[in-house]
């Protein structure tokens, strides 16, 4: 019987400890509970520049590496500001932005009209800020020596859903009479939306395409099939250059120069973050973080495989942010 | 007189032995298939991740440099999550099981409840995530906190705990209850002093296995929108946090190849936590099991 007593005691003590932790949580609710609404007040001591408070963001997985780098650096500058950023995809991020759960939302495409409308209904005023460029890269198998330079029209003809089975020879009779295997990012991603908009004019993407939210799966898919074609952010191409072939679009190959100069068009795209105006006004920490983000996004973008905006552009974006305060 | 036709037996014996051997081989292949897959998986994860696994990995926050990336926030976050999930799910689960086994009368309504608890165990975890997002995150306004995620996870594993606890309580022989009543004990005294102590090994084993499932679940956390990029530790159950599977998933999606290895190191940490939990379950089962 002793064993039982001992065991029950341990169980009771264990849950008491765990419950104690919960009880402790209640007392500090005022500090942290309000962080969920995003509009919490920050305390700033007069003498020091150290801020306190919390900032919440969510959104595109394409933008995430830049933001992660900035958050990492910012933790050194302002250790008491709690920045948390989710990676729910551009669409998923906006959903949380509309629900008022986040102070900023990262996006790899412009905000859609329906999202604008919902934000209006929810009474959320926002401002669009550009933070970097990405060159959406169309890739093929390295042994594919025919489709290395495609025009936008050819891309459209290839990727559009028209009910037929796509073969390379449909585009150019001199190309192999083989089925094309398509790889595309998932429908929740801004990358998919952007490609769909600029290449397919919003029409349906070919149904036989393999969709994946994980871009590494796309890399593996394209690298493993001679007849494959796919597209994703420039960073994924850069890291897998040896395994993939790149497609020039209208004769231009994506690289840091052609993306920044917008010569690589229409697939070089700006990356955005949308900030909630109220949060910038009321939450000192949120404003400070966004300021820091814009000041450092250029360097960080380069470090993680993206392309920074021209210097003047960052100044413009900073001015937009400063006007909100 | 002979009872066996030896010639016939010898003739059939080789056939029967061959038949037996055939099935033995098939069952052995079936067993080794699972084991070999597991071994390959473990080998790959360990060879990829071992190089990144060191003390810094456990004590650093996530970083854009693979060599500096650490799992501190996720590990501590997962432990906080368990601190909410364990008491909530065990108290509710065992309570439900006691009611259903000891108090509830056998009628249609209770049969319906029992059946639905079993059905609930088969609901995909992403559905629980949606439920958690609507109820705990938005309606109750807990936000993307440990509390909201913990309650969602508790709901997810509750059916498993209830079923395990029911089985354990049912396994306590009726003689024991009757003996207790015979000594003049009340129903409550019988449950708390006779039935529960006898059932605790089964209940705890089931509960720990259910908790192991909760610590490895990703889908509900993704739906709730748990952040992955953060550089602070939770201070209360209302804090935002990140968890091991979220962090591993995020690393695995990165373009840089080194992050695949960092993800593997994260998997080793998660597996270590899981193995520790499962060992505790096995220990409890072996040490405290009583046979009647």
Q: Is the ipTM of this complex over 0.90?
A: no
Q: What whole-number distance in Å separates Cα of residue B229 and Cα of residue A69?
A: 9
Give the pLDDT means over successive 10-residue stretches in chain A (325 positions): 53 46 38 39 49 91 90 92 91 92 93 93 93 93 92 92 88 90 89 91 90 89 93 90 92 90 89 94 92 92 89 91 89
Long-range CB contacts (within 8 A, 24+) of B65-72: B66/B256, B66/B258, B66/B259, B66/B261, B66/B262, B67/B258, B69/B251, B69/B259, B69/B262, B71/B244, B71/B247, B71/B265, B71/B266, B71/B269, B72/B233
Query: Cβ of A163 under 8 Å from any chain B Cβ?
Result: no
Q: Are residues A126 and A83 in the same domain?
A: yes
Give the burial class of B236: count Cβ atoms within 10 A of its Cβ; 0-12 exposed, 13-18 middle, 19 or more buried.
Answer: buried
Q: Are residues A148 and A249 in the same domain?
A: yes
Q: Are residues A249 and A142 in the same domain?
A: yes
Q: Are residues A174 and A75 in the same domain?
A: no
Q: Is A90 domain-assigned? A: yes
Q: Which residues of A touch B227 (CB under 8 A)?
A: 56-58, 84-87
Cβ–Cβ < 8 Å for A217, A265: no
Cβ–Cβ < 8 Å for A282, A41: yes
Q: Crossing angle of helices B146-170/B72-98, nearest 10°?
A: 40
Nearest to B230 among A83, A215, A300 (CB): A83
CA distances from B292 to B169, B173, B213 (A): 14, 8, 31
Q: Is A157 domain-assigned? A: yes
Measured in degrees and rounded to the nearest 5, phi and psi for residue A224 equal: -105, 5
Domain that holds residue A306: 48-134+269-324
pLDDT tens digits, B116-173: 998 988 899 999 999 999 999 999 999 899 999 999 999 999 999 999 999 999 999 9
Nearest to A3 among B144, B236, B288 (CB): B288
Q: Which residues of A touch B94 (CB under 8 A)?
A: none
| Residue A215: predicted pLDDT | 87
- Give the angle B188-B192-B198 at the CA atoms, nearest 5°: 135
Q: Is A310 domain-assigned? A: yes
Query: Cβ of B281 under 8 Å from any chain A Cβ?
Result: no
Cβ–Cβ < 8 Å for A295, A91: no
Q: Which residues of B touch A15 (CB under 8 A)?
A: 86-87, 90-91
Q: Compare all CA atoms of chain A with the CA of B238 and give the residue at the minimum distance.
A: A33
Q: Are residues A229 and A148 in the same domain?
A: yes
Query: Cβ of A10 under 8 Å from any chain B Cβ?
Result: no
List chain B residues with pLDDT less than 70: 1-2, 290-292
Query: pTM for the full model?
Result: 0.81
Query: Cβ of B285 under 8 Å from any chain A Cβ?
Result: no
Q: How many CB atoms neighbour CB A158 within 10 A?
A: 19
Q: β-pairing, A181-185 with A228-232? A: parallel
Q: Are residues A181 and A78 in the same domain?
A: no
Q: Compare all CA atoms of chain A with the CA of B145 and give the residue at the minimum distance.
A: A36
Q: Is A22 domain-assigned? A: no
Q: Are residues A110 and A210 in the same domain?
A: no
- Candidates B129, B144, B149, B229, partner chain A, best to mutate (most A CBs within 10 A): B229
Q: What whole-number distance in Å separates Cα of residue A143 and Cα of residue B48?
A: 29
Q: Is A11 domain-assigned? A: no
Query: Cβ of A19 under 8 Å from any chain B Cβ?
Result: yes
Q: Is A28 domain-assigned? A: no
Q: Are residues A236 and A306 in the same domain?
A: no
Q: Output the furthest CA–CA distance in chain A (Å, rounded).
A: 85
Cβ–Cβ < 8 Å for B116, A47: no
Query: Cβ of A70 under 8 Å from any chain B Cβ?
Result: no
- Please name the helix (run of DSSP H) or strand (run of DSSP E) that holds residue B208, with its range, or none: helix B196-216
Q: Is A284 domain-assigned? A: yes
**Structure tokens, A303:** 């470090």
**Structure tokens, A302:** 């380069």
Q: Are residues A191 and A275 in the same domain?
A: no
**Cα-Cα-Cα-Cα dihedral sign, residues B55, B61, B65, B66:** positive
Q: Is A248 domain-assigned? A: yes
Q: Are residues A245 and A173 in the same domain?
A: yes
Query: Cβ of A73 under 8 Å from any chain B Cβ?
Result: no
Q: Are residues A175 and A234 in the same domain?
A: yes
Q: Cβ separation of A36 and B257 shorter than 8 Å?
A: no
Nearest to B253 among A36, A88, A216 (CB): A216
Q: How many CB atoms neighbour CB B241 within 10 A?
A: 28
Q: Which residues of B touch A68 (CB under 8 A)?
A: 62, 64, 229
Q: Cβ separation of B225 and A58 shorter than 8 Å?
A: yes
Q: What is the CATH number of the domain that holds A224?
A: 3.40.190.10
Q: Are residues A194 and A89 in the same domain?
A: no
- Please name the helix (run of DSSP H) or strand (run of DSSP E) that holds residue A297, with its range, or none: helix A284-303
* Residue A145 C-alpha, separation from nearest chain B C-alpha, in angstroms: 25
**How many A/B residue pairs have CB atoms within 8 Å?**
152
> Residue B53 contacts by C-beta under 8 Å, 6 or more apart in sequence?
B265, B268, B269
Number of domains in chain A: 2
- Interfacial A residues in 103-132 facing B (CB < 8 Å): none
> Which residue, A58, A65, A63, A50, is CA-closest to A98?
A58
């Amino acid at each position: 019987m002793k064993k039982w007593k001992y065991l029950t005691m341990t169980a009771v003590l264990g849950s008491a400890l765990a419950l104690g932790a919960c009880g402790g949580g209640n007392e500090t609710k005022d500090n942290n509970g309000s962080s969920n609404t995003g509009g919490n007040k920050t305390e700033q001591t007069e003498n020091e520049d150290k801020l306190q408070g919390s900032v919440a963001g969510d959104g595109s997985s394409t933008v995430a590496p830049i933001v992660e780098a900035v958050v990492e650096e910012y933790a050194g500058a302002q250790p008491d500001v709690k920045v948390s950023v989710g990676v729910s995809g551009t669409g998923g991020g906006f959903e949380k932005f509309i629900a008022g759960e986040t102070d900023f939302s990262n996006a790899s495409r412009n905000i859609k009209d329906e999202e604008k409308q919902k934000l209006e209904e929810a009474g959320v005023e926002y401002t669009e800020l550009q933070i970097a460029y990405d060159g959406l890269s169309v890739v093929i198998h390295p042994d594919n020596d025919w489709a290395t330079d495609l025009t936008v029209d050819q891309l459209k003809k290839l990727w559009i859903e028209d009910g037929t089975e796509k073969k390379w020879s449909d585009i150019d009779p001199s190309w192999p009479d083989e089925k094309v295997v398509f790889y595309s990012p998932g429908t929740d991603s801004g990358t998919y939306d952007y490609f769909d908009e600029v290449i397919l004019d919003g029409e349906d993407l070919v149904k036989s395409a393999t969709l994946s939210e994980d871009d590494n799966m796309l890399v593996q898919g394209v690298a493993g099939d001679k007849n494959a074609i796919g597209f994703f952010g420039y960073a994924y191409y850069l890291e897998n250059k040896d395994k993939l072939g790149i497609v020039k679009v209208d004769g231009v190959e994506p690289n840091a120069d052609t993306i920044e100069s917008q010569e690589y068009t229409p697939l070089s795209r700006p990356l955005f973050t949308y900030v909630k105006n109220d949060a910038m006004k009321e939450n000192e920490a949120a404003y400070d973080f966004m300021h820091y983000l814009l000041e450092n996004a250029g360097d960080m973008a380069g470090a993680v495989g993206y392309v920074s905006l021209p210097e003047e552009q960052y100044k413009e974006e900073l001015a937009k942010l400063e006007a909100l305060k | 007189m002979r009872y066996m036709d030896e010639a016939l037996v010898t003739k059939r014996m080789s056939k029967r032995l061959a038949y037996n051997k055939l099935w033995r081989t098939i069952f052995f292949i079936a067993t080794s298939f699972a084991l070999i897959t597991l071994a390959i998986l473990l080998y790959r994860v360990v060879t990829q991740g071992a190089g990144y696994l060191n003390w810094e990995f456990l004590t650093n926050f996530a970083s854009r440099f693979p060599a500096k990336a650490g799992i501190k926030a996720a590990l501590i976050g997962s432990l906080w999550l368990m601190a909410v999930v364990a008491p909530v799910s065990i108290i509710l689960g065992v309570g439900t099981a006691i009611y259903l086994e000891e108090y509830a009368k056998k009628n249609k309504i209770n049969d319906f409840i029992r059946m639905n608890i079993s059905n609930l165990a088969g609901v995909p975890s992403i559905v629980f995530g949606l439920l958690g997002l609507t109820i705990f995150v938005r309606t109750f306004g807990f936000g993307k906190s440990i509390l909201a995620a913990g309650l969602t996870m508790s709901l997810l594993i509750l059916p498993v705990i209830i079923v395990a606890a029911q089985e354990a309580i049912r396994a306590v022989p009726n003689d024991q209850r009757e003996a207790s009543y015979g000594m003049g004990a009340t129903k409550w005294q019988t449950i708390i002093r006779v039935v529960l102590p006898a059932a605790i090994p089964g209940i705890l084993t089931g509960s720990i296995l259910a908790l192991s499932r909760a610590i490895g679940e990703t889908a509900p956390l993704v739906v709730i929108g748990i952040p992955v990029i953060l550089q602070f530790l939770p201070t209360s159950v209302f804090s935002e946090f990140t968890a091991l599977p979220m962090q591993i998933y995020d690393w695995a999606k990165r373009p840089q190849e080194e992050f695949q290895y960092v993800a593997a190191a994260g998997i080793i940490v998660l597996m270590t936590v899981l193995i520790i939990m499962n060992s505790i379950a096995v220990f409890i089962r072996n040490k405290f099991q009583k046979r009647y």
